[in-house]
Structure 1
Amino acid sequence: LPQLACGGDLKPGGEFCPGKELTYEFLTNVLKEVMELFPSEYIHIGGDEASTNHWKQCPDCQALMKAEGMKEEGELQEYLVSRIEKFLKENGRKMIGWDEILTGELDETSAVTVWRGEDKGAESVKRGLRTILSPGAYCYFDSYQDAPRTQPEAIGGYLPLEKVYSYEPVTEAFPADKLDCVWGVQGNVWTEYIPTPEHAEYMIYPRLLALAEVAWTNPEQKDWKRFHAEALQEIKVLNSMGYHTFDLQNEVGNRPVALSVDNHLAKGKKVEYVRPYSDSYPAGGESALTNGIHGGWVYTDQRWQGFLGKGADVIVDLEKSQPIQQLSIDFMQLRGPGVFLPQKVSFLISNDGKEYTLLKTITTTLPITDEQLTIQTYDWTGSCEARYVRVQADINPEAGGFLFTDEFVVK
């Protein structure tokens, strides 16, 4: 409803306008209907990923901020959440919301669903709030559970069974005297890419079995090999009952190159960034491209480093001149989120770090219209001697978007 968005000269945004009283009338009326339909003790209000951009320019929001003595637009969300919390309490219900609600003061009866990581979970527990742990890195079952090319289209990510099983919800960051505030863990299945109940079952099982053991088994009693064998047997039982499950028996697994450390000549060496990497996708920062660690199937695994603007241009100092026989680097293309292969990649060498000799330039032939996930290796092989090695990768001007690379290998 556009009348519930921010006013002035703005086009309607995706967030409610917290400066309009009409917003609260609408929200409380919706909640009245929810309470009539569901007798639950708790009502989940969401509350995640709200942008404050429209609020900064909205006359209604700014007027409310002035009247309430607010200094930052984020306080508008705290104000809205507080009013909804009070309304639910007055109607005999309790509020639960995503961990963004932690920015404000909360009633001790309210609960928090944590999706953004350990620090938010620890904060919620320290405040004595009932806390449900559901971090996206371990509990979002809409992610791919195997090599993307082998799976039905998904929203992205890579969450195999073993990673779900590796999750340890309670860490040393959680105060030991308040662990009773941890209510449990929660798996999520968002269905933008899941059109049928059968597909939903496929995404849930057997990952739900792993999360169940995470929830109910003491860490010292967990055993991946034992669980994996039991999961294979349980899948047979589920299939015999008519459930549609992932074929764990024929799991492809992560990229083979991502399973071990690559001890090449540039490992651990200093990298100079002529073109900076993106702050949004730093991976390992300045050590990302020479840490010996290759990326997996997805660019969000904190191993792939992202570049915007003109692309990537990095120089590695091998510390002394030495024989070189191979230079290689991987790039990824995934059209949906705007990740494309470079237009071209060039390898260069130098002994003084000033004058560089071009070894090879490789032009990408894969069209930008290709929809499949592609990880392509660009390389040079031959014989030379150098101290400095350099790789330049230019963004395709027709595509724009991000470049993602994981390791600059020197052999």
Structure 2
Amino acid sequence: MRFAALLLCLTLCGLVQADPVSLIPLPAQLQRTEGSFKVDSSTSIIVPAHDEAARQSAQYLADLVARTRGLHLEVAEGKATSQAIVFQRNAKAAGAHAEGYTLDVSAQGIRIEAHDDAGLFYGAVTLYQLLTPNTQSGAVDVPALHISDSPRFAWRGVMLDSARHFQSVVDVEKLLDQMAQHKLNVLHWHLTDDQGWRIEIKRYPELTRIGAWRTPPDAGHDGEPERYGGFYSQEQIREVVAYAAARHITIVPEIDMPGHAQAAVASYPEIGVTGKRPPVSVDWGVNPYLYNVDDASFKFIDNVLDEVLALFPSHYIHVGGDEAIKDQWKASPVVQAKIRALHLKDEDALQGWFIGKIGSYLAAHGRRLIGWDEILDGGVPADATVMSWRGTDGAIKAAKLGHDVVMSPAPDLYLDSLQSNLSDETAGRDPVRSLENVYRFKPVPTVLNKAQAAHVLGAQANAWTEHMPSMQHVEHAAFPRLDALSEVVWSPASTHDWKDFLGRLPAQFQRYAAQKVDYADSAFAPVIKVDTNATLKEGKAEVALSNQAGYGDIRYTTDGSAPDDHASLYNKPFTVTWPATIKAAAYASDGSVLAATRTRVIDRAHLLTRAGRELSNCAGSDFRLHVQPMPDATSMTPVYAINVFDTCQQYLAAPLDGISSIHVEVARLERNYALAHDIKLVVSRPYSTPYGEFVVHQDRCDGPVLAAAPLPNPAASARRFALDAPLSTQHGEHTLCLVFTAPTDGPLYAIDRFSLIPAGGAKSSP
């Protein structure tokens, strides 16, 4: 009895929470109190008379709850009453912090108070989460509590790359909705690059007539469109800007310069260095086209910016400044003469002068320049803000120089980084940046002193879309990692708790499902691990199950049937006699699904087979992409692992006793990668047949050749094909080095599956 009384006391004091409140991001202060308030269809939302911002926030809440929970709440103007949800102005709410609010729930009702419009809106967002703790519909009991909340950082951002792959207005608005629900307040909209110009500029119609469209590699074949592209009309941009503003999100446009300018130069060759018209690029990477530095080119840029400023009211305008290789400037006598006339040291200094002119133009129009950290290399205007992407060094340097900075480092906050090394992960880049990696990101480098740290405005995650051609890809890459980012940039650092955060995710997953957001379950997906070689020898397999987050209940079956929340609960490795089919899924404590079922078949054929994504890079290059069959494929599968610098992979500890041949399933891919000065790193291997070979070496990549098969004529064969070759008799376990010797000016090849075939072709289990 004494224990029960103590527990009750602790619960009422807010020290023990039997039913955790599933809020993301976690509020700055949250105190549970006794009781609850029932919200049902008779509950009204009351806003002050003639307060349009309060009404908009209240209506946003009502619409969202109606759409996701089927609970319809009426919004009305009037005086605060009990048994209602009340929005109210209070100059002292949340310490009068910008975007701050207080939220109180008692048995008498719910009250949201804030001194600014954004605070009222974020109070509504928090209440939405309180009203959707589960998948049920209709009325909900909201626990009594007090919240006083305001953000840790002013810049809480997401970058969406619409230049490489184009998203519809509906797609962009759906992302804005989710940003708002995560209290993220800046959409950095990447609108121009080598591969496309996406913003209508009425003075220069060729930018969208020509620059918004590219002819894909192998256009019209194998699912690749004849023409790829699109652009946003000025009317559409105004619509998106207004949609964002209603959710207290600022859109910061990016117009890339002086590099990443190929689509612009393709539209108006006279603004380029050579005066020649290139095509709009189909190659990912670093292309060579730069803006010229003459008066006519700056007049063009100024005229473009005039229309951009009229469309986007944001204080900041992003001008890129990254990856501007200076080869064209170096080769141009006119540009070299300009450098001398300006008494500049070199081309980097010329870029600094270039960015300085743009910064002055923006400042004269009441705006402020922001650019990637390369703008520091040649000198930068004193009031420029630096977005650090090449790790955190740029931010540290900029902050020490007195510049405001936004943390956006690769790969930590790059959403095109893979979330896991699961074989069913979607396209993206290595290295893996998991949900936990993002949650543990520290926006303020420890080397900065207090004054320097004050220059850190916040952080943002970047959704580069070279390998994310559809909005389904973007959502999969963004969620739930944006949940982690939202807590990093909103909640006080002292409140960050990884395990507690995981406990709040199941309710968030249910909100995603209700809104048809295609989130990733990678952090919770069961990994089914067996020692393949030991299993082959022993005729039985010891199976270990785990997931990346180390969270949730993993339940499994061994007979191929689908697991549910009543299937066997995994708690330690178990043994099965093969053949067997293991299926496993992960569940939260409330029985909701954390991760969909994963399957592993254990038989001889599967034990002797490796998916291409399971193979490792050969020594010498750790570069690795996971790509789809064609650059503009919109399906989520298949995905192939490639290294554009070296087409060599390893099958470690291959069991070769009794193996007489190999079978490999291959995909031919486009080599659409602009490598700039890194082209020298591409490994070229000798080949003896017209189109190269697939070669298997023993132990080392210059070791004995165990098998080889010629590659077919690319012009006369399917993109997916199989090769078979005899394997020289070997014994024991050996590393196999798997190499494509195709000419480096032709297509790339990727291994889909590689199989060792026993003598007689037997693939069945013993």
- Other structure's SS at 1:45 match: strand
1:382 aligns with 2:728: no
Distance 1:104 1:165, change over 3 A: same
- In structure 2, what residue type is equivalent to 1:6? V
Q: In structure 1, what is the equivalent of residue 307 of structure 2?
A: 33
CA deviations 1:62-120 (Å, max 9, x no partner) are: 11012112232222211110110111112221111111111133333221111110211
Secondary structure at 2:320's aligned position in 1?
A: coil
Distance in 2 of aligned mates of 1:10 and 1:222? 52
Pair 1:135–1:143, CA change in 2 (3 A):
same
Deviations 1:156-198 (A, max 9, x none): 4443322222322323333443101001110122345555555
SS in 2 for 1:187: strand
Q: Bigger relative contact order, structure 1 or 2, given CA contacts below 8 A and separation 6+?
A: 1
Q: TM-score, normalised by structure 2?
A: 0.38
Paired residues for 1:181-260 under 5 Å: 181-192=455-466, 194=468, 197=471, 199-217=473-491, 221-247=495-521, 251=525
Say if 1:242 and 1:393 are closer, same or farther in 2 by CA, change over 3 A.
closer
Q: 1:219 to 1:364 in 2, by over 3 A?
A: farther
Query: Which residue in the other structure is 1:5 paired with?
Result: 272
Indicate the percent of aligned positions where both proteins have the same amino acid: 28
1:361 aligns with 2:706: yes
Match of 1:271 in 2: none
Matches of 1:366 and 1:228 in 2, distance apart?
48
Distance 1:119 1:49 in 2: 16
* C-alpha distance in structure 2 between counterparts of 1:59 and 1:200, whole Å: 43
Q: Distance in 2 between matches of 1:198 and 1:31?
A: 32
Distance 1:392 1:38, change over 3 A: closer
Measured after TM superposition, the shift of residue 246 of structure 1 is: 2.4
Of structures 1 and 2, the larger Rg is shown by 2
Root-mean-square deviation over aligned CA pairs: 4.7
Equivalence for 1:53:
327
For 1:17 and 1:100, the matched residues in 2 are separated by 16
**Pair 118,127 (structure 1): closer, same or farther in 2 beyond 3 Å:** same
Report the alpha carbon displacement of residue 226 of structure 1 after superposing the two structures with TM.
2.6
Distance 1:51 1:218, change over 3 A: same
Alignment of 1:100-119 (within 5 A): 100-119=374-393
Per-residue Cα deviation, 1:213-259 (whole angstroms, up to 9, x for no partner) = 222345564333332232232111232244332235863579999x9
Residue 178 of structure 1: aligned partner: 452
Structure 1 segment 323-334 matched on structure 2, within 5 A: none
Decide which of 720, 737, 742 is 1:397's aligned counterpart.
742
For structure 1, which runs of at least 5 residues remain unmatched after alignment? 260-274, 283-296, 314-323, 350-355, 373-377, 405-411
Gaps of 5+ in 2: 1-267, 280-286, 532-547, 549-617, 625-638, 657-665, 673-681, 684-691, 722-726, 751-766
2:395 to 121, 131, 137: 121
Please state if 1:277 is matched with 2:585: no
Tell me which moved more, 192-201 or 137-146: 192-201
Determine if contact 1:307/1:402 at 8 Å carries over to the other structure: no
Shift of 1:128: 1.4
1:159 to 412, 415, 433: 433
What whole-Å deviation, never above 9, does each CA across 1:21-61 have from its counterpart, x for those lacking one?
11100111111111222222111111111121111111221
Aligned equivalents of 2:668 and 2:409: distance in 1? Answer: 24
Please state whether the residue corresponding to 2:371 is helix, strand or coil.
strand
Q: Which amino acid aligns with 1:187?
A: A
Tell me the matched-pair count.
Answer: 339
Q: Does structure 2 conserve the Cα–Cα contact (< 8 Å) formed by 1:4 and 1:22?
A: yes
Q: 1:74 maps to what in 2? A: 348
Once residues 66 and 256 of structure 1 are traced to their aligned partners in structure 2, the CA distance between those partners, rounded to angstroms, is: 66
Q: In the aligned structure 2, how far is the partner of 1:298 from the partner of 1:129? A: 42
Secondary structure in 1 aligned to 2:731?
A: strand
* Distance in 1 between residues matched to 2:490 and 2:729, nearest whole Å: 51
Q: Which residue of 1 aligns with 2:410?
A: 136
Going from structure 1 to structure 2, the CA distance change for 1:357 and 1:241 (only over 3 Å counts) comes to closer
Q: What letter corresponds to residue 269 of structure 2 in structure 1?
A: P
Q: 1:119 to 1:195 in 2, by over 3 A?
A: closer
In 1, Cα distance between the equivalents of 2:301 and 2:706?
59
2:352 maps to a residue whose letter is E
Structure 1 residue 201: deviation in Å? 3.3
Matched, 1:16 2:290: yes
Q: Look up the match of 1:346.
A: 697
CA shift, 1:135, in A, is: 1.3
Deviation string, structure 1 residues 197-217 (Cα, Å, up to 9, x no partner) = 555433322110011122234
**Matched residue SS, 2:461:** coil
Could you report, residue by residue, the CA deviation over 1:343-398 in whole angstroms, capped at 9, with x for unpaired residues? 3233369xxxxxx995x7244799897679xxxxx9997369xxxx9987654135
Greater Cα offset, 16-25 or 207-216: 16-25
- After superposition, the Cα gap between the structure-2 partners of 1:393 and 1:144, relative to the gap in structure 1 and judged at 3 Å, is closer
Q: What's 2:140 paired with?
A: none
**C-alpha distance in 2 between matches for 1:121 and 1:167:** 14
Q: Which structure has greater helix proportion?
A: 1
Tell me if structure 2 keeps the 8 A contact 1:147–1:252: no
TM-score where L is the length of structure 1: 0.65
State the alpha-carbon separation in 2 of the partners of residues 20 and 207 from structure 1.
44
Q: Which amino acid aligns with 2:309?
A: M
Distance change >3 Å, CA 235–CA 73, structure 1 → 2: same
Matched residues in 1 for 2:720 and 2:502: separation?
Answer: 33
Question: Which deviates further from its counterpart, 20-29 or 212-221?
Answer: 212-221
Shift of 1:402: 8.6
CA contact (8 A) 1:202 1:246 kept: yes
Query: C-alpha separation between the residues in 2 aligned to 1:15 and 1:246?
Result: 37
Q: Secondary structure at the match of 2:355?
A: helix
Deviations 1:115-174 (A, max 9, x none): 11021121111111110011121222234434575355x454443322222322323333
Cα separation, 2, equivalents of 1:11 and 1:195 = 23
- Cα 1:371–1:41 change in 2 (3 A) is farther
Q: 2:400, 2:667 → 1: CA distance?
A: 42
2-structure distance, mates of 1:162, 1:334: 35
The alignment partner of 2:445 has SS state of coil
Q: Write the distance in 1 (CA, Å) between the matches of 2:386 and 2:509.
A: 33
